[in-house]
Amino acid sequence: MQRQRLPHWLKKDIINTEKTRLVRKILRESGLNTVCDGARCPNKGECYANNTATFMILGNTCTRNCKFCSVNSSKPELVNPEEPFLVAKAIKELGIRYAVITSVTRDDLKDGGAEHFALTIREIKKLNHDVKVEVLTPDFKGDKKAIDTILEAEPDVFNHNIETVKRLYSVARPQADYQRSLKFLKYINIPTKSGLMVGLGETWEEIIELLQDLKDAGCDIVTIGQYIQPTKSNLAVEKYYTPEEFESFKAEALKIGIKHPVSAPLVRSSYRAGEIIKHLV
């Protein structure tokens, strides 16, 4: 299938300012990864210009191979024991007040990397007393001990992305499980968040069903954005939704009872996360 041309509402100007160069410099010197680069996020320049970044811990190589994602998939590298401190230090240097920490999936590790998440949260809060921390984690194969390990470190928001509708899991996320992710979200006892992308061939009815499932799982914040094919080897875009259609998704989510839905073509799970959480406080 020939790649569709991006509609005008998905095109963003490249931002290259002194601030963006400073963020890149600090990240490069620290040897840290960001999901902004790893997942080819279209909002990277804007976030860097505002001295924010979503830090990706546990390396940049994933043990899974989701068909929508551009992150490398092969044998992962060794875990860097200095990484929690390096992340905390970079957050302090950048003056970040709301930190988002995510990771590749590490099915090769006994706890999936949960303890490393916990150490990172603690290091951030030790070095940056007033900083709030959001974690965006893999499913840890549904291991509640891993979830508890992270909760004990007291993150402020726990995010786990559902990504797509149930029918498309076998195509887009063959190593994940839709019901497992819903149970994961339902287990968490602090503000929860989840994100989905549209444009993979889902129907309107399937999107509404997914939103209802997230509401039933107790999800407080839901982000909805357009899937954009990162490389030719990833799944093709089946549909580009208009900004008006994204407004309709938001209206339906509110009607269902989700406290704070965020829906727009370029919305991503971590985009303006600090602003979103203010609505729950």
In a domain, 131, yes or no: yes
Contact 142, 160 (CB under 8 A): no
Residue 6 domain-assigned?
no
Cα–Cα dist 32/34, whole Å: 7
Q: Per residue in 118-149, is it b (16+ CB within 10 Å) or e — as a string?
A: bbbbbbbbeebeebbbbbbbbbbeeeeebbeb
Q: In whole angstroms, give the CA distance from residue 147 to residue 185.
A: 10
pLDDT in tens, the chain (281 residues): 556 788 888 876 665 667 777 777 888 887 888 765 544 556 556 666 666 678 999 988 777 777 767 677 778 889 999 999 999 999 998 888 889 999 988 988 999 999 999 999 999 999 998 899 999 999 999 999 999 999 999 999 999 999 999 999 999 998 899 999 999 999 999 999 999 999 999 999 999 999 999 999 999 999 999 999 888 888 899 999 999 999 999 999 999 999 999 999 999 888 777 777 776 65
Give me the pLDDT at residue 51, please: 60
Domain count, the chain: 1
Return d(Cα 276, Cα 273) in angstroms, integer: 5
Structural domain contains residue 1: no
Q: How far is CA 219 from its chain centroid?
A: 15
pLDDT at 16: 63
Does 4 fall in a domain?
no
The 3-class SS string of the chain reads: CCCCCCCHHHCCCCCCCHHHHHHHHHHHHHCCEEHHHHCCCCCHHHHHHCCCCEEEECCCEECCCCCCCCCEECCCCCCCCCHHHHHHHHHHHHCCCEEEEEECCCCCCCCCCHHHHHHHHHHHHHHCCCCEEEEECCCHHHCHHHHHHHHCCCCCEEECCCECCHHHHHHHCCCCCHHHHHHHHHHCCCCEEEEEEECCCCCHHHHHHHHHHHHHCCCCEEEEEECCCCCCCCCCCCCCCCHHHHHHHHHHHHHHCCCEEEECCCCCCCCCHHHHHHHHC
Residue 256: how many other CB atoms lie within 10 Å: 16
Domain that holds residue 158: 11-280
Query: How confident is the model at residue 59, as a pLDDT?
Result: 86
Q: Report if residue 78 sits inside a domain.
A: yes
Supply the pLDDT for residue 214.
98
Residue 224 lies in a domain: yes
Report yes or no on 2 lying in a domain: no
Q: What is the CATH number of the domain that holds 131?
A: 3.20.20.70
